[in-house]
């Protein structure tokens, strides 16, 4: 398996600037996220505060950012990262496609998670709560799985789960019409908490309580602390210093995920700093290794 120098999680201005800077310093870079870039950039009606590019629409800015990053030679992987494992010398990334990737350093540029986690979600993470149906579906053979989904893009995950589980309860948290395979029970109820003893046993919702063996929360975002175990973060923001270093050596963060102000230029500036710090980290590690050998 190829081990990248830098894995960037997120295709917003923070992540894309980090990718460009990493490539400018001749590092191999993998960028994970939505192929069209950040929906937040795309949605901006008119942007007037980006240096040198005044009076531009969000969608034009989004395609300029993305074209520039693609020209840099970074590799784009259109998968959501569900978990990052620090392995000592490198990081291992699990994605929603059930794939694993490796990189020496990681830059978290996943934006700001506006959604809150539910009571019980963190407590039962790995014990009946998961963020990746493709990764864990096989564990639910003959069992009941609840899927709480925040976008229609996750409907395929429910179909895949139904190939294994006896019962799939699908809780769409969006207004659009649902298109999942026959046999999947679509329930328009709003989750309140996950309850259980040692493992998750019930999904408590506003209208009813559902007995389940597992609950999958499929959001476009994963809360930072749940993305990387041991990361110093609250529900929304990762703690960094001025070099964009987190408390985990080799892991950096940039953009909205590090806190306010939520602005394109701040995200891009931090992406630049995070990538330069990642480059120094990699070069120092390589120097140490060659002087020890
Ligand atoms: C409607 C609107 C208008 C705005 N207008 C302006 C403006 O005029 N000027 C201005 O300066 N700012 C504006 N902003 C704020 C600006 O959009 C943000 O500050 C900026 O996009 C933050 O960039 P970022 O790279 O940190 O994160 P984001 O742009 O949020 O990008 C994060 C990316 O990471 C992806 N991602 C998240 N989790 C994962 C994961 N686990 N695996 C893979 N990918 C993941 C997301 O899908 C997303 O594509 C606006 C915001 C909104 C919503």
Hey, how many other C-beta atoms are within 10 angstroms of the C-beta on 273?
19
Q: Is residue 123 part of a domain?
A: no
Cα(111) to ligand 1 centroid in Å equals 5
Using the atom order of ligand 1, give the atom closest to the CA of residue 13. Answer: 25
The preferred substitution site among 49, 78, 111, 273 for testing ligand 1, maximizing ligand atoms within 8 Å of CB, is 111
Contacts of 270 (CB under 8 A, 6+ apart): 14, 244, 253, 254, 255, 258
3-class secondary-structure state, position 18: helix
- The pLDDT tens digits of the residues spanning 118-134 come to 999 988 988 999 888 88
Q: Is the domain of 109 the same as that of 7?
A: yes
Same domain membership, residue 229 and residue 177: no
Mean pLDDT of 183-196: 97
Q: Both 151 and 241 in a single domain?
A: no
CB 112 within 8 A of CB 256: yes
Mean pLDDT score, 142-153: 94
Q: How many domains does the chain have?
A: 2
Residues 103 and 56 in one domain: yes
Round the average pLDDT of the chain to a whole number and report it. Answer: 93
User: Quick one: pLDDT band at residue 272, thresholds 50, 70, 90?
Assistant: very high
Residue corresponding to tokens 């980290």: 281
**Domain containing 57: what range?**
3-114+221-292
User: Looking at residue 133, which CATH number applies to its domain?
Assistant: 3.50.50.60
124: in domain:
no
Give yes or no for residue 224 CB within 6 A of ligand 1: no
12 ligand 1 Cβ < 6 A? yes
Enter the DSSP assignment of 142. T
Residue 140 domain flag: yes
pLDDT in tens, 12-39: 999 999 999 999 999 999 999 988 888 8
Residue 66 sits in the same domain as residue 202: no
Q: Residue 136 has what pLDDT?
A: 85
Q: Give distance in angstroms: CA of 11 to centre of ligand 1.
A: 8
Residues 167/191, Cβ–Cβ less than 8 Å: no
**Are 152 and 210 members of one domain?**
yes
Residue 121 within a domain: no
Q: Does 119 map to a domain?
A: no
pLDDT value of residue 78: 94
Average pLDDT over residues 49-60: 93
pLDDT at 292: 83
Whether residue 178 is found in the same domain as residue 241: no
Question: Do residue 7 and residue 19 come from a single domain?
Answer: yes
pLDDT at 100: 96
Our answer on whether the CB atom of 267 is closer than 6 Å to any ligand 1 atom is yes
What is the C-alpha to C-alpha distance for residues 57 and 47, in angstroms, rounded to an integer?
6
Residues 211 and 269 in one domain: no
Backbone φ and ψ for 24, nearest 5 degrees, come out as: -60, -25
Q: Residue 222's pLDDT is what?
A: 81
Indicate whether 30 belongs to any domain.
yes
Contact 33 CB / ligand 1 (< 6 Å) = yes
DSSP H/E element including 276: helix 264-292
Question: Which of 187, 218, 249 lies at the terminal end of a domain, its last residue?
Answer: 218
- Ligand 1 centroid to Cα of residue 34, in Å, is 11
Question: Which helix (H) or strand (E) covers residue 253, if one does?
Answer: strand 251-253
Same domain, 89 and 182: no
- DSSP for 207-251 reads S-EEE-SEEEEE-SS--HHHHSTT--B-SS-B---TT-B-SSTTE
Give a yes or no: residue 152 inside a domain.
yes
Looking at the fold, whether 13 and 96 belong to one and the same domain comes out as yes
Ligand 1 in reach of 111 Cβ (< 6 A):
yes
How much is the pLDDT for 114? 64
Q: Reduced to 3 states, what is the DSSP secondary structure of residue 13? A: helix
Q: Provide the percentage of residues in the chain whose pLDDT is more than 90.
A: 79
For a mutational test of ligand 1's pocket, the pick from 19, 42, 44, 106, i.e. the residue with the most ligand atoms closer than 8 A to its C-beta, is 44
| 264 pLDDT above the threshold of 90 | yes
**What is the residue with the minimal CA distance to atom 10 of ligand 1?**
263
Taking Cα atoms as reference points, which of 227, 267, 222 lies closest to residue 248?
227
């Amino acid at each position: 398996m190829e081990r990248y120098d830098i894995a960037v999680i997120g295709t917003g201005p923070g992540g894309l600037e980090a990718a460009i800077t990493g490539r400018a310093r001749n590092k191999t870079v993998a960028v994970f996220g939505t192929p069209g870039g950040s929906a937040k950039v795309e949605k901006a009606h008119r942007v007037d505060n980006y240096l040198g590019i005044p009076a531009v629409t969000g969608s034009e800015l989004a395609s300029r950012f993305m074209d520039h990053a693609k020209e840099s030679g970074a590799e784009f992987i259109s998968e959501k990262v569900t978990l990052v494992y620090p392995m000592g010398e490198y990081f291992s990334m699990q994605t929603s496609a059930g794939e694993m990737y490796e990189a020496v350093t990681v830059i978290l540029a996943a934006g700001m998670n506006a959604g809150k986690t539910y009571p019980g979600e963190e407590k039962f993470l790995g014990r009946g709560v998961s963020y990746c149906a493709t990764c864990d579906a096989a564990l639910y053979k003959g069992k009941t799985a609840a899927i709480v989904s925040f976008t229609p893009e996750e409907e395929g995950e429910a179909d895949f789960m139904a190939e294994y589980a006896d019962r799939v309860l699908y809780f769409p948290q969006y207004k659009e019409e649902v298109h999942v395979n026959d046999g999947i029970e679509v329930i328009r109820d709003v989750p309140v908490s996950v309850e259980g003893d040692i493992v998750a046993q019930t999904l408590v919702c506003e209208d009813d309580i559902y007995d389940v063996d597992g609950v999958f929360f499929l959001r476009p975002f994963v809360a930072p602390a749940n993305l990387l175990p041991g990361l110093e973060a609250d529900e929304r923001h990762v703690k960094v210093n001025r070099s964009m270093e987190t408390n985990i050596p080799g892991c950096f963060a940039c953009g909205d995920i590090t806190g306010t102000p939520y602005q394109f230029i701040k995200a891009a500036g931090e992406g630049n700093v995070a990538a330069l710090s990642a480059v120094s980290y990699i070069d120092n590690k390589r120097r140490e290794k060659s002087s020890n050998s």
